[in-house]
Amino acid sequence: MLTLRRSEERGYADHGWLQSFHSFSFAEYHDPAHMGFGPLRVINDDMIAPGRGFGMHGHRDMEIVTYVLQGAIWHKDNQGNDARIVPGEVQRMSAGTGILHSEFNQALYDTTHMLQIWIQPAQRGLRPGYEQKGFAEADKRGSLRVVASPDGREGSVTIHADATLYAGLFDGDEALEVPLDAARKTYVHLARGELSVNGQALKAGDALKLEGESRLSLSQGKQAEVLVFDLGA
């Protein structure tokens, strides 16, 4: 079964310095039909103005993945981590028993565009943790590169959840077809560009849920950057 959700159907919040689209219920946006998908709980598509950001705040019992599309985000937390995340890098923060952190766009003129992803952990009460890695564009070109996984395989960041995240870049004749485990869920989020997914034409911000499907087909990309989630039921 394929379920298409267009970008404009997402929740939206305009805070002046922050414009955010919510794929699932978040903060003041509540939609009982979109509370999550398997362990995937949040995809926030954020545009952060220069010199602005999120002050120190807390999380617990959540695997949080940051994926930067444009600009940079500066992260600080009470575990001693102080890092800058740029396009091509993936950050994983395990909130576990509790963590405090801040995220700022320290640029003078450039807007930061990023996706913040929350995934429910397989176990609560974990020790807080942090990881950040870069992934070459060539490894994602016309392919799906694993960037986050439960076992950290192929150099991906490790998330403590029944979920694996892949990133891909598709343009022109680049195409890919991969088998799926029909007993699991697959969620496709198109971060930018255009892409055909199992025959469905997606544009930036669109998403496709796949349930009971045995294959994933990606083609007809136009400067597409796509995230694919393999999720437990």
138 class by beta-carbon count within 10 Å (0-12 exposed, 13-18 middle, 19+ buried): exposed
Would you state the pLDDT for residue 55?
77
* H/E element, 139: helix 137-140
Q: Count other Cβ atoms within 10 Å, centred on residue 137.
A: 12
CB-based burial, 184-218: b 16+ in 10 Å, e otherwise = bbbbbbbbbbbbbbbeeebebbbbbbbbebeebeb
pTM of the model: 0.95
| Cα Rg, the chain, nearest whole Å | 17
- List, for the chain, all residue ranges whose pLDDT scores fall below the cut of 70: none
Q: What is the CATH number of domain 2-231?
A: 2.60.120.10
Would you state the pLDDT for residue 95?
85
Would you state the pLDDT for residue 170?
98
Would you state the pLDDT for residue 199?
94
Would you state the pLDDT for residue 28?
87
